[in-house]
Amino acid sequence: MADPRGFLTTRERELPRRRPVPVRIKDWKEVYEEQDLTVLRRQAGRCMDCGIPFCHSGCPLGNLIPEWNDLAWKGDWGEAIERLHATNNFPEFTGRLCPAPCETACVLGINQPAVTIKQVEVTTAEQAFAFGAVKPQPPERLSGKTVAVVGSGPAGLAVAQQLTRAGHTVAVYERADKAGGLLRYGIPEFKMEKSVLDRRLEQMVAEGTRFRTGVDVGADITGEQLRKRYNAIVLTTGSTIPRDLPVPGRDLDGVVQAMTYLPQANRAALGEEVPDQIVATGKDVIVIGGGDTGADCIGTALRQGARSVTSLEILPQPGMDRSPDQPWPTYPMIFRVASAHEEGGERLYAVSTSAILG
């Protein structure tokens, strides 16, 4: 168990600070500052090592949270990353991007703020990388079997890493020019810098995973050809077919899907030339949809220098606390302020778009 009295002596959550808004909207770097390790370890020490750790069942990966909370509290980053990697190939991604249903399921959350599990996760990963504890793990022997993984998003990368380490010869096919899928072209740099992704890809290459980027399976190579060449194929594709909003005015100039807008912005943020890039500079922007993708668009538009940003959410504004029909340990609909919301713009609720005029 982490600190046996930790949850009694520290009753508040302590999270890293976000960089000041006027500073961070002038660049694309990650929003959060590094957290003092003493504070982080104090938070890890609040974990009660519950007899029934509800955080386990809240986590879609079944992360062994109390085990690595204890190790993080002790500052044993080498062991902590071992336990973290036992269920999660990429804690540096989830520790930045996951909505953390483990925290809303944390037993401590019944009568005081939950353990800052997600922050412990990302810090453990970063400490482990910093101290060289994340090393390539090539297989000791090869199985002689070959596998094609189609799609290089997080699912494809995880399956490729596991199969490579098991000794199979794995090639990951990606139609974009670089691997990573949504991690690279969907998630803005201010939420996860791409150097974090590239660092993990380097480990995978060193382990023996091969990447075939710029290959569109189904167009450049057929499924039949893949089946002839490989013993097995794993399909881990995402979808670039967006959910449309079939209202009058949808076809007007300047009405674009997030997954058209965000990848262009991500490329430009990394210094790529993007022909005919859609930019929000000097424009009045409306973001339809109040979820995470909407927040990504808000943060991106503000960094591009939009004159105004208004977000429209179809549901009513949720309350600050759990409603009775969403009790602990469910993941509740409550009012949340993403970093992008803090940066500017207006949020309107209970707005259903019936037409776009222009």
Axis-axis angle for helices 117-130, 65-74 (nearest 10) = 60
Q: Which residue lies nearer to ligand SF4 by CB, 45 or 156?
A: 45
How wide is the angle at C-alpha 123 spanned by C-alphas 9 and 186, nearest 5°? 130
Nearest to 315 by CA among 332, 331, 297, 291: 291
Which window, 45-53, 183-191, 296-304, 341-349, contacts ligand SF4 (CB under 6 A)?
A: 45-53
Q: Does 47 bind ligand SF4 (CB under 6 A)?
A: yes
CB 108 within 8 A of CB 22: no
Q: Return the structure tokens found at 172.
A: 């990951």
Q: Which residue lies nearer to ligand SF4 by CB, 55 or 72?
A: 55
Could you give the CA distance from residue 229 to residue 226 in angstroms, rounded to a whole number? 5
Backbone angles phi, psi at 211, to 5 degrees: -120, 130
Smallest gap from residue 102 Cβ to ligand SF4 (A):
7
The DSSP code for 345 is -
CB 2 within 8 A of CB 46: yes
Burial per residue of 244-266, b for 16 or more beta-carbon CB atoms within 10 angstroms, e otherwise: eeeeeeeeeeeeeebbebbbbbb
Q: Which residue lies nearer to ligand SF4 by CB, 103 or 313?
A: 103
Which window, 44-52, 138-146, 214-222, 266-274, contacts ligand SF4 (CB under 6 A)?
A: 44-52
Q: Does 48 bind ligand SF4 (CB under 6 A)?
A: yes
Q: Which residue lies nearer to ligand SF4 by CB, 121 or 193?
A: 121
Smallest gap from residue 84 Cβ to ligand SF4 (A):
13
Peptide bond into 246 cis (omega under 30): no
Could you give the CA distance from residue 146 to residue 288 in angstroms, rounded to a whole number? 44
Q: Tokens 């996951």, residue?
A: 98
Report the residue from 28, 54, 73, 93 that binds ligand SF4 according to the rule CB under 6 A.
54
Report the residue from 6, 53, 95, 208 that binds ligand SF4 according to the rule CB under 6 A.
53
Q: Return the structure tokens found at 146.
A: 């070959």
Which window, 42-50, 194-202, 266-274, 346-354, contacts ligand SF4 (CB under 6 A)?
A: 42-50
Q: Does 12 bind ligand SF4 (CB under 6 A)?
A: no
* Contact string 78-117 vs ligand SF4 (x = CB under 6 A): ----------------------------xxx------x-x
Size of the site for ligand SF4 (CB under 6 A): 15
Residues forming the site for ligand SF4 (CB under 6 A): 47-50, 53-55, 65-66, 69, 106-108, 115, 117
